[in-house]
Amino acid sequence: MHLCIRHLRRRRNPFAQQLRHCSLEGPDRRWRFSGARLRFVQRHHAVISPISTALGHAGYIIGLLEYVVTEIWWLRVWAVLGCGLVVSFQVLQPRCQWLSAGWCSVYVLVNLFQLHWFSLSLMEPTLSDEEQKLFDLLGDIVSVREFADLAGFGEWISLAPGDLLSKQGNEVTPDDAQARLYLIAEGCCEVSIAGRTVATLHPGSLVGEVSYLLQQNMEHSSSATVTAREEVHCLAIPLHEVRQLLQRRSDLQQPFVRLLARDLLTKEAAVSDQALEDRRYKAVLEVACPMARQPGVADGVATYRRREPGEARTASLQMTTSG
Ligand SMILES: Nc1ncnc2c1ncn2[C@@H]1O[C@@H]2COP(=O)(O)O[C@H]2[C@H]1O
């Protein structure tokens, strides 16, 4: 120990001086704070001594709690409290161990910073007006944060009536930068297969999810032609960005699957409704057309045709009338 003290005395660097001051020779009066602290502690020694001992014990007991919690939030809270109490214990000692107090203060600061950063990440992000509109359409399928994280990779595009979002048969390769997933925010699109309109996509629908699902590792061609029927405003996210994002962020996989599943169910329901309506329409016309010469029936059929327009129905009417 003596050798060590002599060694520290010989060395003139500030760290050695501070260490000597802290642990071996008592306070250095040149340091104003240290002097004031010591005077205070000595003057109120009778009161401070039991308090500082209690603080020290509390600090180390809280340190033990860190071994039983598994949640990072609580781990950091206990670290801040435990280290903070150890710092106060040290500062209230007549011979403060600055080395211990200093490092414990560093731990407190690091953990406070992490807690602050963690709280910021829990705060809901602010969406732009167009993002908010689209988010409202998606309902409670995704949270605001999940939506914002996904939307951050997309760009907003506007389409004029007749513009194409997808052309049936166009090849889509896994690294195709042009292949995108569209989330329609405003306007309607028409889906046609082999020149026949099969569906109308409304705000909240996806376009390109089939390519996303099929084109994991292989080439594939677009399943339908999708055309803007009116002014369309949508969010376009490149498919490779979606794939990379989901690989990096496993927490986004479930919400994304929910989004796809809901979209496919809506489309399937629309196709079933359409098929049912077509059958009903055909049945009405099959009954009405043979009686078209009866007074009033021809007018009724014409009115019915006007009320239920549509390519498929017109085709079925033609079939029915020619039959
Ligand atoms: N029957 C359908 N009903 C609604 N949308 C469809 C239908 N068939 C294809 N689509 C959409 O049209 C898109 C064309 O490109 P994808 O094949 O990538 O993904 C397709 C779907 O988003």
* Mean pLDDT computed over every residue of the chain: 83
Region 209-231: what's the mean pLDDT?
Answer: 87
Region 211-230: what's the mean pLDDT?
Answer: 86
Based on DSSP, count helices (H) and strands (E) in the chain, helices before strands: 13, 10
Residue of 164, 166, 167, 173 to test ligand 1 pocket, by largest number of atoms within 8 Å of CB: 166
Q: What is the pLDDT of residue 320?
A: 45
Give me the percent of the chain exceeding a pLDDT of 70: 83
Q: What is the pLDDT of residue 307?
A: 67
For the segment 139-193, what is each residue's pLDDT rounded down to a tens digit? 788 999 899 999 999 999 999 999 999 999 988 877 777 889 999 999 999 999 9
Q: How far does the centroid of ligand 1 lie from the alpha carbon of residue 316, in Å?
A: 23
Judge contact between 225 and 191, C-beta under 8 A: yes
Q: Using CA positions, which residue lies closest to atom 10 of ligand 1?
A: 224
Nearest Cα neighbor of 198 from 174, 162, 221, 224 is 224
Q: What is the ipTM of this complex?
A: 0.97
Q: Using CA positions, which residue lies closest to atom 8 of ligand 1?
A: 224
CA dihedral (54, 60, 62, 68) in degrees, to 10, reads -150
For the segment 296-321, what is each residue's pLDDT rounded down to a tens digit? 777 777 777 766 655 445 444 444 44
Q: What is the pLDDT of residue 236?
A: 96
For the segment 35-49, what is each residue's pLDDT rounded down to a tens digit? 888 889 999 999 999
Q: How far does the centroid of ligand 1 lie from the alpha carbon of residue 181, in Å?
A: 11
Judge contact between 247 and 189, C-beta under 8 A: no
313 compared with 227, residue with greater pLDDT? 227
Q: What is the pLDDT of residue 99?
A: 94
Region 133-138: what's the mean pLDDT?
Answer: 94
Q: How far does the centroid of ligand 1 lie from the alpha carbon of residue 210, in Å?
A: 6
With a CB cutoff of 8 Å and minimum separation 6, the contacts of 222 are 166, 167, 168, 169, 170, 172, 210, 211
Tell me the range of 121-130, 254-263, 271-280 where mean pLDDT is highest. 254-263
Give me the percent of the chain exceeding a pLDDT of 90: 51
Q: What is the pLDDT of residue 296?
A: 73
With a CB cutoff of 8 Å and minimum separation 6, the contacts of 104 are 83, 84, 86, 87, 90
Judged by DSSP in three states, 189 sits in strand
For the segment 12-25, what is each residue's pLDDT rounded down to a tens digit? 554 445 444 444 44
Q: What is the pLDDT of residue 86?
A: 95
Q: What is the pLDDT of residue 318?
A: 46
Q: What is the pLDDT of residue 308?
A: 62
For the segment 65-112, what is each residue's pLDDT rounded down to a tens digit? 888 888 888 999 999 999 999 999 999 999 899 999 999 999 999 999
